[in-house]
Structure formats: structure tokens, C-alpha cells
Amino acid sequence: MIDTHCHLLYKGLKEKHGEIIEDAKKSMKAIINCGYPGDVEKSLELKRDHDGFIYLSLGLHPIDIVKMSDQEIDEYIDLVRTHKDDIVAIGEIGLDKHWYPKPEQQLRLERVFQQMLDLAKELQLPVILHTRKAEQECFDIVRENGFKDVVFHCYAGNMTLAKDIKEEGYYISIGTNLMRSKNTKKLAQRFPLEQLLTETDSPFLSPYPKKINVPQNVGYVLERMSELRGLPVEEIDKVIEKNCEKLFGI
């Protein structure tokens, strides 16, 4: 079992991440922790402490971008560059029209998104996309940039675009919220298994009421996928692990 997207150092998880990681090791193969500007050093430390189990992706979420100056963003990009050997992907990066719908906000977010894509291209790393209410825009941008290794994290777009995602050979990452969205459920059931990943987005999107989400809940995703596809959990998990190996080298 691999959780390709979680935030181990976010509030809710960071207070007890030691305990959670030790427990996760009992049933999981790997975790990709998505770091952000505020936690780079701690994320690197976590990766070193759990070498071969915790992997790191560094990104720049729209929510961070709006709080940073252009200079701070440039400095962060330099910082990511210096740690290129410690990371398996750039992400999450992307656009968010839910929280930032104004055209002038979008312009800046698009500019920074492009900077991060340029960085991923330079470092030859896959990208993990945050595409809230901007799925088509993100898709068009990565395609125009000639990207091959792309993950749509928590994809909530329509099925027509999902078909284009499939044809481009991109990946969709199915999260612990899959049963709450008709489209995600459909994708978990029908999208080619060779282009699917599993994730939790912990501490968010817990499948269980009033509980924080943890990486080991990726098992919940696999169980639901198993029911939806009529295949054993082990068989699905084997393909997903292979996808992760191919994409992230883990």
C-alpha cells in the first residue's frame, strides 16, 4: 500500500506523526509526504529518519503563493533546487478557482505555476497537480508544456476531461473521499488501473466521521476499489505499486 499524497507535518498529524508512521510501517510500503515552504527542513528530516519508507515531494500550493512575495517564491524555488536529490516529485502545484476566482489572482497563480513547471522540467521530475475548479486549465497548461509524468490529485473534474487525461497517459490519484463523489467513484471503477494511484491527503478528507485522516487509510481506498472493480485488493495494490515505481522510482 502506498499513500502518494499526504501532509505529515500539517496540524492534526504533526503532533503525533511518530506514532502514526510506526503504525503505518506495519501495513504500508511507502508514503509520499507533500511538503510546502514552511516545512522543508522538517520534511527533509522526516525523510532521512525513515529512509526508504517516507519519500518527499515539494510543492507550492496556491494557498501558499498568495501569502508570499515574488522574491520569496524565487528563494523557495532555489531551495527546492538544492534538494533535488531528496525529492521524487514537484507538487502539489496548480490552480485553485474555488478560493481564488478573481482574474488578477489567477494571473499570478498561473505565472507561479509555470515557474514550478519549469523547475520540474529542469529537474526532470513528475508533477502532482492541485486543480480545484481549474481542471481544464491545468490540463491545458501541462499538455502545452509537453509534460508526460503528471498526477491529478483529488481529481473532481468531469468525465470528458478524464478521457483526455487517460489519452495523454496521465495519472489520476484516488483519495479517501472517493465514495462521496459520483465521478471519483466512476473513475475508481473504470479508469485504467495502470494510470491510477492511491492517496489520503491526510490529515484532510477522512473517510471516517470526526476523525483525522492518516496514511494507513489508503487501505480504505483499495478496499472500495476492490469492491467497485470486482478484483482482489492484492491485485489492485500490486498494479498501483508498480505505477508508483514507474512514475516516482519508489
Strands of the chain (E only): list them: 2-6, 30-35, 54-60, 89-94, 127-130, 150-153, 171-174, 196-198
| Residue 201 touching Zn ion (CB under 5 A) | yes
Taking CB under 5 A as the binding criterion, the range among 83-91, 155-163, 200-208, 231-239 that sits at the site for Zn ion is 200-208
- Compute the least distance from the CB of residue 204 to Zn ion, in Å: 7
Tally the residues of the chain. Answer: 250
Contact 63, 96 (CB under 8 A): yes
61 CA to centre of own chain: 11
Contact 5, 177 (CB under 8 A): no
Binding mask 137-166 for Zn ion (x = CB under 5 A): ------------------------------
Instruction: State phi, psi for 60 to the nearest 5 degrees.
Output: -145, 95
- Compute the least distance from the CB of residue 227 to Zn ion, in Å: 25
Taking CB under 5 A as the binding criterion, the range among 16-24, 101-109, 196-204, 226-234 that sits at the site for Zn ion is 196-204
| Residue 199 touching Zn ion (CB under 5 A) | no
- Compute the least distance from the CB of residue 61 to Zn ion, in Å: 7
Residue among 174, 177, 175, 179 nearest 193 (CA): 174
Number of residues that bind Zn ion (CB under 5 A): 1
Query: Which of 3/201 has CB closer to Zn ion?
Result: 201
| Residue 96 touching Zn ion (CB under 5 A) | no
In the numeric block, which cell numbers belong to residue 193? 488501473
Residue whose Cβ sits closest to Zn ion: 201
Place of cell 520534511: 43
List residues near Zn ion by CB under 5 A. 201
